[in-house]
Chains A and B, each alone.
Chain A
Amino acid sequence: MDLLEYQGKQLFARHGIPVPSGKPAGTVEEAVAAADEIGYPCAVKAQVQIGGRGKLGGIKIANNQAEARQHAEAILGMDIRGLTVFEVWIEGASQIASEYYASVVFDRGAKAPLVMLSTKGGMDIEAVADEDPDAIARLHVDPLLGFQDFHGRRLAYEAGVDADVVRPIGAMLKKLYNAFIAEEATLVEVNPLIITPEREVKALDAKVTLDNNALFRHPENAELRDRSAEDPQERMAKERGLTYVKLDGNIGILGNGAGLVMSTLDVVKGAGGEPANFLDAGGGSKADAITSAVEVILSDSKVTAVLFNIFGGITRCDEVARGLIEAFSQLNPSVPFVVRLDGTNDVEGRRILAEANLPNVYTEATMDGAAARVVELAKAA
């Protein structure tokens, strides 16, 4: 789960990481009241998860109440690369002497947290990594040992930060690492991390990704929402515990297991079709999960045909067949379904489906055959 900037800053503040004081606002009146309370000049910042919002008009400085109102009116509701701005974050404008970059990331390759620090902050860090990789100091931390003070000093010296801020930067990195561990994040990124003219160290931005699998241990994080990033079908799927990604085409896809579903999308596209979605019904799908999944797929009005591609391991094909029958009795779909069942209890599943004799349901023996059939049916629709 990706947090909005202000959600990340509030998380930082809980871990003693210095951030500018600010308040979130969902309406113009709330924004003006927040700006009055924080004082002028202040920044009005669009809360959407997209890089370069400043250049697209999503960040403005207000020097007085009239400007705060004007900026809040302009930014709230604006569209930034397809995302609607539902919230702004009002924070005191900061004076900047230097801009650095700091992050802690879950390094899958090294299987350890990686801490990075650079004095080239405030810009696209990928570009820095490409053009000047030595400008980024990196250190893998043994998670069984944790982040030690010397780690912070080492990174600060290697990155070449100003001598007077070596210790405060080290302390900041330690707090970022501890927040990364305590909140079970997979990414904590600060760009820019600023040094003020008074030589204070502050996180001027916050990018935090939390591990969805650990949210059960962090109920306060599980409640955080980003309305700008929620597609109605995706939200519906999430509430039902399904992994759904909406795409642009007209062929609804349901499969079990992310790899097989991705492969199904590739094969359908190769057969000349356009998938309407990615839907992984997950391992061990029970009949009711299949019924929910069909409901989610059909809630997209563009869908003209649906492909079920199941290769059961932990998923039992008989459960899938029962779920499809239940879905038909509840939803009475008008589009054709192509079903391919292989794997655990497949004979039973195919028997159940054959006996039910559902209208407009076609079974296919292979993935390639099923893809070709659904493409044909979708085009005929």
Chain B
Amino acid sequence: MSILIDKNTRLVTTGITGSEGKFHTLRNRDYGTNVVAGVTPGKGGQDVDGIPVFNTIREAVDKQGANTAMIFVPPPFAADSILEAEEAGIELIIAITEGIPAHDELRAFQVIKKNGRSRLVGPNCPGILSPDKANVGIIPAGFFKPGNVGVVSRSGTLTYQVGNELAQSGFGNSTIVGIGGDPVPGTDFIDVLGLFQDDPETELIVMCGEIGGDAEERAADFIAAHVTKPVVGYIAGFTAPPGKQMGHAGAIVSGSKGTAAAKAEALEAKGVRVGRTPTEVARIAMEILGH
């Protein structure tokens, strides 16, 4: 098994006629993802290498049975595209676009939460890969094979780095989920941890965080209460200088200084081992699973 995407995924890409949208959609299809449609307003009736293009997401759902959307439109229009997918009844919306205004993300998130019929992953994320089943997004899939390690990460390229270290140590993956580094991720660590906990194929979970916010601290509490499978953590930014301060109010909200050390400490306090480098993450995983 895997989580979120598999052979039942029927993908529609919004922004499919842009150069990046086209490049990565075709790569996803080459990998074996069932790409059923693309959407670009004004280009309905055309096709991209045989993939039918529609003017609206609604049409892609009605005519092609799309159930998953990959959002590839530029930042000023991306939240609108997410809301269009939600309104069309898409179950899983994966937003790759980087640089969406924070308030746009906030409204899109709140609408999705209120209506309760879709899940949003991202924005500003690398997407999801279930090896040998489906790849939706920009993860370079060639590095990964099927297996029993689930990976969830806030950072795209760090996901590849850690995933690659695991692969070199002989591990395969159930699913790799990039939740994105934006202020309002549609899906949090804790959502994905819960999905991996319930996935019979996943035997170990690797969670890659980074400085800022308190998502890792909240994940630590969730793991203690709900996750019985072993979790290995990694936090990027131990040596990063304090970034631009969000102001005093930000520090009150997070209830933490948002440093890598504070996050690692929070995880370790709940029994989660934290690797100090991507290589060490793979080493800890080997110790736990006894490879």
Q: Please list the residues of chain A having a beta carbon within 8 angstroms of any beta carbon in chain B.
A: 2, 51, 103, 105-114, 116, 124-126, 129, 136, 142-144, 181, 184, 186-187, 189, 191, 207, 209, 211, 213-214, 216-217, 245, 247, 255-260, 262-263, 265-267, 269-270, 275, 278, 282-284, 311-315, 342-344, 346, 367-368
Contacts and interface: CB of A to CB of B under 8 A. Distances in A.
B160 A311 contact: yes
Contact of B277 (A110, A270, A343): A270
B63 interface: no
B278 A367 contact: yes
B93 to A, nearest CB: 16
9 contacts: A106-B102, A113-B106, A211-B102, A255-B157, A259-B153, A259-B181, A260-B155, A266-B276, A344-B140
Contacts of A270: 276-277
B148 interface: no
B249 A189 contact: yes
B249 A342 contact: no
B164 interface: yes
Give the interface residue-count category, chain B.
Answer: 35 or more
B111 interface: yes
A257 B246 contact: no
Contact of A313 (B157, B251, B252): B157
B247 A266 contact: no
A257 B183 contact: no
Given A144-B111, A187-B250, A275 B239 contact: yes
A112 B237 contact: no
Interface stretch (B1-9, B194-202, B207-215, B224-232): B207-215
Contacts of B20: 284, 314
B210 A259 contact: yes
B157 A311 contact: yes
A192 to B, nearest CB: 13
Interface in B33-82: 75-76
Given A213-B75, A343-B160, 20 more contacts: A2-B245, A143-B107, A144-B111, A189-B248, A209-B246, A211-B101, A256-B157, A258-B210, A259-B156, A259-B181, A263-B234, A263-B277, A263-B278, A266-B236, A266-B277, A312-B140, A314-B138, A367-B161, A368-B277, A368-B279
B101 to A, nearest CB: 4
Q: Chain A's interface: helix, strand, loop or mixed, by majority?
A: mixed
B236 A126 contact: no
A213 B157 contact: no
Interface string B71-107: 0000110000000000000000000101111111011
B132 to A, nearest CB: 19
A269 B239 contact: yes
A259 B156 CA distance: 7
A2 B249 CA distance: 14
- A116, A181, A263 interface centre (most CB from chain B within 10 Å): A263
Nearest to B209: A259
A103 B247 CA distance: 10
